[in-house]
């Protein structure tokens, strides 16, 4: 599993910039939803290239015989 990282940059004027790395697709917003609610209102979102990737899925194998 790739490393997931959330970085926060606190600007001198009090704005907080949040950057998420290692998370594909909409999982980024799900991961940070509670943090963003606690910090206040989101003024702007800028999706990175990772936001447009499809999350990797683990293949599941089923036994040939189900009893």
Range of the domain at 11: 5-43
Is residue 56 in some structural domain?
no
What are all long-range contacts of 43-52, with beta carbons under 8 Å and residues at least 24 apart? 43/15, 48/19, 48/20, 50/20, 50/21, 50/22, 50/23, 50/24, 51/24, 51/25, 51/26, 52/25
Q: What is the pTM of this model?
A: 0.60
Choose between 66 and 19: higher pLDDT.
19
Residue-wise pLDDT tens digits, 34-47: 888 888 888 888 87
Is residue 11 in some structural domain?
yes
Query: pLDDT band at 23, cuts 50/70/90?
Result: confident
Is residue 60 in some structural domain?
no
Tell me the average pLDDT of the chain.
79
Q: How many domains does the chain have?
A: 1
């Amino acid at each position: 599993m790739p490393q997931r990282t959330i970085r926060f940059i606190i600007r001198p004027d009090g704005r907080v910039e949040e950057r998420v790395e290692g998370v594909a697709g909409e999982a980024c917003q799900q991961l940070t939803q509670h943090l963003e609610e606690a910090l206040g209102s989101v003024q702007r979102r800028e999706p990175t290239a990772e936001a447009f990737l499809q999350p990797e899925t683990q293949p599941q194998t089923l036994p040939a015989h189900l009893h």
